[in-house]
């Protein structure tokens, strides 16, 4: 199994919305991928209640069957549409992928 964790720091305004509205929109779009992409076992997104200096607004916790499934997810059209939305709102991100037993 592979865990894919991403955190985003958002711009104050983007997509005609404020930071909090974009965070909630990103959460909804990410969780909307559940059950729609082969090899994606679990997907959960969280929105920070408060963002401290240097902190992040949104976190994605996802699990895949293997690294190949993660690679397919990253190129899947549904994921690409969500990614394109996030890119317009994000000011920064951090990512970690790791295999578990």
Neighbours of 81 (CB within 10 A): 12
- 3-class DSSP state for residue 50? coil
* Pick from 52, 54, 32: nearest CA to 43: 32
pLDDT in tens, 1-24: 999 999 999 999 999 999 999 999
What lies within 8 Å, CB to CB, of 72 at 6+ separation is: 37, 38, 39
pLDDT of residue 25: 99
Q: Tell me how far CA of residue 32 lies from CA of 16, 48, 79, in angstroms.
A: 21, 19, 10
Please tell me the pTM assigned to this model. Answer: 0.95
Question: Where in the sequence is the domain holding 14, given as residue range(s)?
Answer: 2-99
- 3-class DSSP state for residue 40? strand
Our count of domains for the chain comes to 1
pLDDT of residue 54: 85
pLDDT of residue 7: 99
pLDDT of residue 42: 99
- Say which CATH number the domain at 61 has: 3.30.70.100
* Pick from 6, 1, 13: nearest CA to 89: 13
Task: Report how far residue 54's alpha carbon sits from residue 9's, in angstroms, rounded to the nearest whole number.
Answer: 8
pLDDT in tens, 34-91: 999 999 999 999 999 988 888 999 999 999 999 999 999 999 999 999 999 999 999 9
């Amino acid at each position: 199994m592979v865990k894919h964790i991403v955190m985003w720091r958002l711009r104050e305004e983007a997509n005609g919305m404020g930071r909090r509205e974009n965070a909630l929109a990103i959460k909804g779009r990410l969780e909307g991928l559940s059950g729609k992409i082969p090899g994606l076992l679990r997907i959960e997104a969280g929105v920070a209640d408060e963002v401290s200096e240097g902190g992040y607004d949104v976190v994605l916790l996802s699990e895949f069957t293997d690294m190949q499934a993660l690679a397919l997810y990253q190129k899947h059209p549904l994921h690409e549409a969500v990614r394109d939305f996030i890119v317009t709102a994000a000011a920064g991100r951090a990512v970690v992928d790791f295999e578990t037993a």
